[in-house]
Amino acid sequence: MFDFVKNRARPEIFTLKPYVPGKPIEEVRRELGLEDVIKLASNENPLGPSPLAMEAAAASLGDLSMYPDANCWLLKHKLAAHLGADAGQILVGNGSDELLMMLAAAFINQGDQVIYGTPTFSGYEFTAKIMGADCLEIPLADFTYDLEAILAAVNERTKMIYICNPNNPTGTIVRKQGIQSFMDRVPDQVLVVFDEAYGEYAESPEFISGYQYVREGRNAIVLHTFSKIYGLAGLRIGYALTSSSIAEAVERIRDPFNVNSMAQAGARAALDDSEHLRRSQELNRQGKEYLYESLTRMGLFHVPTEANFIFLDTGRSCRQVFESLLQRGVIIRCGDVFGYPNFIRVTIGTGEQNRRFIESLTQVLRG
């Protein structure tokens, strides 16, 4: 019989690696018969969503029979005021995952080259490969994006460069001066994508957003999400700031109703709750200090982070550590998928969650 998929599917789809999501709490409860499970695997906000966002999402339930605003008018205008930009420079997506997919669909031709660091967020490879790009992965230097090496690899086929800042899974940032010097030399034929999913957590004065390059009129786009510090991962909504001409191009391939009405309402309200944002930053700062101290005391190497997670060396197989922590109801992320078989990535949680993680890890490493 004619093998339809093998012969007729686009060959690109067979080059894709399936995404490995953080294990859901319900799955661990079911499989291990555990009641009390905590998830420190997907960098969600341990405080949950802003109460204002929850109220607004609930208040939008009555509108569910109507299609959402296809243009996210209210949210775009609110974001524009927030960012000091024009509403026409803003894109809203069903998570920043969808924004990455829209960028790839709008700009990548088969055979174009895209460049990003490794290890990093898997969404760049995934979306670029679907469109037939050649992906060039430049190893991190000292756990940090190596912009000089990326620049040296640029050629006439380079279409996009992705910079994950702070980087997932290492939590590192590229320093101000490094970005400036990179932007001074990167050719205008290249679109620079700054993924700042964790930008709100960065504390270092060395962190700068890519916004300034959008404002300077460079070919740049900055991605943000409501999934991380805003605590709305389940609603699926993210946004981008870029030039109005790039935004218009991407709008051409957007699904008409890509962002649902609850997500729009929740996101608008979340932007009003600066107090929740501040509390989330403060909780993260305290948790980071506690985890640094504990890991140092345990003699475990960990990468200093500007995000809400820590990448650390357990000194033994991460699979083993992962399984043992799971038995104790603690879900974390294994470093092997990132090429670090002895590392794990743990989300900074509430004080209680962090203590439970450290106690469990201590037991696991003793055993």
Ligand X SMILES: *Cc1c(COP(=O)(O)O)cnc(C)c1O
Q: Which residues are at the interface with ligand X (CB under 6 A)?
A: 95-97, 121, 123, 164, 168, 195, 197, 225, 227, 233, 238
3 state SS of 93: strand
- The residue among 5, 16, 26 whose CA lies nearest residue 329 is 26
- The residue among 198, 226, 202 whose CA lies nearest residue 49 is 226
Residue 321, number of CB atoms within 10 A of its CB: 22
CA distance 220 to 243: 8
Least separation in angstroms between residue 175's CB and ligand X is 18
Least separation in angstroms between residue 233's CB and ligand X is 5
For ligand X, give the closer residue by CB, 201 or 294.
201
Q: How far from the centroid of its chain's Cα atoms is residue 153's Cα? A: 24
Q: Which residue is nearest to ligand X (CB)?
A: 95
Least separation in angstroms between residue 238's CB and ligand X is 4
CA distance 63 to 77: 21
3 state SS of 24: coil
Least separation in angstroms between residue 323's CB and ligand X is 24
Least separation in angstroms between residue 33's CB and ligand X is 30
CA distance 142 to 140: 6
Least separation in angstroms between residue 271's CB and ligand X is 15
For ligand X, give the closer residue by CB, 60 or 96.
96
For ligand X, give the closer residue by CB, 47 or 298.
47
Radius of gyration over every alpha carbon of the chain, rounded to an integer in angstroms:
21
Sign, CA torsion 293/40/141/299:
positive
For ligand X, give the closer residue by CB, 268 or 356.
268
Query: Taking a C-beta distance cutoff of 8 angstroms, is the pair 343, 303 a contact?
Result: no
H helix runs in the chain, sequence order: 4-8, 25-32, 51-59, 73-83, 96-107, 123-130, 147-152, 176-185, 211-215, 244-251, 261-272, 274-297, 318-327, 351-366
For ligand X, give the closer residue by CB, 210 or 238.
238
For ligand X, give the closer residue by CB, 197 or 326.
197
For ligand X, give the closer residue by CB, 199 or 287.
199
For ligand X, give the closer residue by CB, 89 or 167.
167
3 state SS of 223: strand
For ligand X, give the closer residue by CB, 168 or 360.
168
CA distances in angstroms from 206 to 69, 103, 112, 116, 175, listed in the order given: 38, 28, 32, 21, 5
Least separation in angstroms between residue 333's CB and ligand X is 11
Q: Which phi and psi (to 5°) does residue 131 adopt?
A: -85, 5
Least separation in angstroms between residue 156's CB and ligand X is 28
Least separation in angstroms between residue 227's CB and ligand X is 3
Residue positions counted in the chain:
367
